[in-house]
Chains A and B, each alone.
Chain A
Amino acid sequence: MKKSILEVNDLKVNFSTYAGKVQAVRNVSFEVFSGETLAIVGESGSGKSVTSQAIMQLLPVPPAIYEGGEILFEGRDLLKLSDRQMEKVRGNEISMIFQDPMTSLNPTMKIGKQITEVMIKHHKISRSEADKRALELMELVGIPMPEKRLKQYPHEFSGGMRQRVVIAIALAANPKLLIADEPTTALDVTIQAQILEVMKEIQKEMETAVIFITHDLGVVANVADRVAVMYAGEIVEIGTVEDIFYNPQHPYTWGLLGSMPDLTADKSQKLRTIPGSPPDLTHPPAGDAFAARNPHAMKIDYEKNPPMFKVSETHYAKTWRLHPDAPKTEIPEIIKERYNQYRQTKEGDSIV
């Protein structure tokens, strides 16, 4: 029933630095189906932003090197397109929402022009038509007094309003895929909720597929249909929101879920963290990259990189503990407690 619009296969992206080659994205594969929201979560430096920018080919080459793999967008390999062909994809079929609305708008260009520019470029429509459509978009993303606002400059907008403008620009050409790279990270919490609301509504209305990059699991629970967990340049677990939140398999996912702040916990309880730090990706470890930080690590975790094991039709995880011969490790007690809490809060709607 679901049609896949984006298929990333074995994507490898390296960066050449003075210290050596940094393997930022290592054999990442995933699919995005039309109309769904895929969240990519992971800590800083896990390769989630690089993956998204690789899809748009926004990484400057050099230092970035597309080492291998393919990015199939509706069957076409984007990595093989020329610059000219890629320009027709960017902003038109795939568009992007950036993290910081304070810097992502051109300070010396009127908002209206920044919105219409995309439509004039890709849809070859007249200026007056573009203006009319810009007005509609401004209303869609919830900016009051759009006629007046279109003639203003970015510095006359607040952060939340600017992010709405950025969303309007991203939607201007009716893209099939929208990549949101931490769109709420730079905003304060109340504005975050508003922006997420706007994005959800728009997705419902326009049936755009969304790749939502974030490190905020609360946001994930709120917006995503499926979740990919990234660690050290690899996807370690991928599945539906329910799979990831109620039946996580990878120890790193346990760690992430365990370290979410919990408002219901009593005050004596300390915030849990994952001990250690991610590996140096100039020399990634031979085995499971998470092994050094994993309290449940086995010998094989240090020696051999695990393949993706199938948990269910929608759920895959990259850990040796799913191997049929592996000893059964129990899911930590704390994580179990969390599920029960999630289940309870789920009844009361959202997890956030």
Chain B
Amino acid sequence: MISYIAKRLVYILIAMWLIITATFFLMRLAPGNPFASERALPPAIQESLNAQYGLDNPWYVQYKDYLINSAKGDFGTSMKYKYRETNDMIAESFPVSMTLGLEAMFIAVAFGVLIGTIAALFHNKWPDYLMTILAVLGISIPSFVMATILQYYLALQLNLFPIAGWKGFAYSILPAVALASTPMAFIAKLTRSSMLEETNSEYVKMAKAKGISKPVIVFKHALRNALLPVVTYLAPLTAGVVTGSFVIEKIFSIPGLGKHFVTSITNRDYTVIMGTTVFYAVILLLAVLIVDILYSFIDPRIQLRGGKSND
């Protein structure tokens, strides 16, 4: 187990290097620079700015500097917002996005699995059809439409929740629901289909022959086996949801991390692009690692091994 994790961490480092390299070159390939604006800067100022941020060095020197700084976890100051450290920007906004994201994750997983299981339990009866319709709606309605619908009816008309802002738990409910609706529907579909597959398997038939009642079979026997595909989907979902959503954060005016992903790119804010990308990659790779470890807890047939030799 420990050697397995150590091995995986090495892979993560290699993956990080690839991601940083790709981001670096893609960033340079995009035309424009951080200091371009409607008003052209005098060449002297442009040059001194370039010199200040090290942009006048040849690309391999810049690449080396980036690699070293990234390894240290120091992404430098933003090129757009003077005197703002990239790390501070992330540290400030990430907790907000994470709180929102974890709430959304909780809603998506808890209700998704429940809805999927109920649909499978009542296969081809009305609860199944109802759940399927809900799931299709959830998948096909974009989060910004969902967000505005929730704002209009629950916040504006019924006055149940605040419309926007970020001043406490009540403020997080609507954005979390809006953020969760699509993954929840997806998890529900995933759970339903893998649950149906499990309920047609021999061991479920055997459990039935043992005289176990249907709900107990579904929850005690089949659910654990049916969850593997759902867990697989959790890794990219966590990374995506926890690092914030540009759209949802804009609609609910939440000071989260999501906006930096988009604005840093339009601003060609090289340091912030690199910071957010590396941060996202770290979260994603760690989530994948955690999911792989989770597998071995859910399915005893999956064993984590450090090397290939100890079979």
Contacts and interface: CB of A to CB of B under 8 A. Distances in A.
Real binding pair: yes
Interface of A: 56, 58, 84, 87-92, 95-96, 98, 100, 103-109, 117-118, 121-122, 153, 155, 166, 169, 173
Q: State the main secondary structure of chain B at its contact with A.
A: helix
B294 to A, nearest CB: 13
Nearest to A106: B203
Interface stretch (B162-170, B180-188, B208-216, B262-270): B208-216
Interface residues of B, number: 20
Nearest to B209: A96
Interface in B207-248: 207-213, 220-221, 224-225
A87 B202 contact: no
A289 to B, nearest CB: 29
B304 to A, nearest CB: 15
B58 interface: no
Contact of B203 (A107, A121, A173): A107
B201 interface: yes
B205 A58 contact: yes
Contacts of A173: 211
A64 to B, nearest CB: 13
A108 B209 contact: no
Given A89-B211, A98-B202, 16 more contacts: A87-B212, A92-B211, A96-B206, A98-B206, A98-B209, A100-B202, A103-B203, A104-B202, A106-B206, A106-B207, A106-B221, A107-B225, A107-B299, A108-B224, A155-B300, A169-B206
Contact of B301 (A87, A117, A155, A169): A155
B13 interface: no
A253 to B, nearest CB: 30
A90 B206 contact: no
A4 B221 CA distance: 35
A159 B82 CA distance: 69
A91 B213 CA distance: 11
B298 interface: yes
A117 B203 CA distance: 14
Contacts of B207: 106
B301 A107 contact: yes
A57 to B, nearest CB: 9
29 contacts: A58-B209, A89-B211, A90-B209, A90-B210, A91-B209, A91-B210, A98-B202, A98-B205, A100-B202, A103-B202, A103-B203, A104-B202, A104-B203, A104-B205, A106-B225, A107-B299, A107-B300, A107-B301, A108-B224, A108-B298, A108-B299, A108-B300, A109-B224, A117-B210, A118-B211, A121-B210, A122-B211, A153-B301, A169-B206
Listed residue (A87, A90, A104, A106) with the most chain B CB atoms within 10 angstroms of its CB: A106
Given A106-B225, A107-B225, A108-B225, A118 B210 contact: yes
Interface of B: 201-203, 205-213, 220-221, 224-225, 298-301
Nearest to B227: A108
A91 B300 CA distance: 26
Contact of B208 (A90, A122, A155, A169): A90
Contact of A103 (B201, B298, B299): B201
A128 to B, nearest CB: 20
Contact of A95 (B205, B209, B213, B301): B209
Nearest to B217: A106
A49 B212 CA distance: 21
Contact of A117 (B209, B212, B225, B299): B212
A100 B203 CA distance: 10
B171 to A, nearest CB: 40
A109 B301 CA distance: 11
Task: Give 5 closest A-B pairs by Cβ, nearest first.
Answer: A91-B211, A91-B210, A90-B211, A103-B202, A153-B300
Contact of A56 (B209, B212, B301): B209
Nearest to B201: A103
B103 to A, nearest CB: 29
Listed residue (A58, A92, A107, A173) with the most chain B CB atoms within 10 angstroms of its CB: A107
Nearest to B214: A83
A109 B221 contact: yes
A118 B216 CA distance: 12
Contacts of A100: 202
A104 B202 CA distance: 5
Given A98-B202, A100-B202, A107-B225, A169 B210 contact: yes
A264 B201 CA distance: 42
A105 B212 contact: no
Contacts of A122: 211
Contacts of A84: 213
Nearest to A84: B213
Contacts of B298: 108
Contacts of B202: 98, 100, 103-104
A65 to B, nearest CB: 16
Contacts of B220: 109
B300 A121 contact: no
Contact of B213 (A87, A89, A103): A87
Contact of A121 (B205, B212, B221, B225): B212
A166 B202 CA distance: 12
A56 to B, nearest CB: 6
A117 B213 CA distance: 12
Nearest to B298: A108
A109 B221 CA distance: 8
B213 A104 contact: no
B302 to A, nearest CB: 10
A93 to B, nearest CB: 9
Contacts of A108: 224-225, 298-300
B203 A105 contact: yes
Contacts of B299: 107-108
Contacts of A155: 300-301
A105 B213 CA distance: 17
A122 B212 CA distance: 9
Contacts of A89: 211
Contacts of B301: 107, 153, 155
Contacts of B208: 58, 90
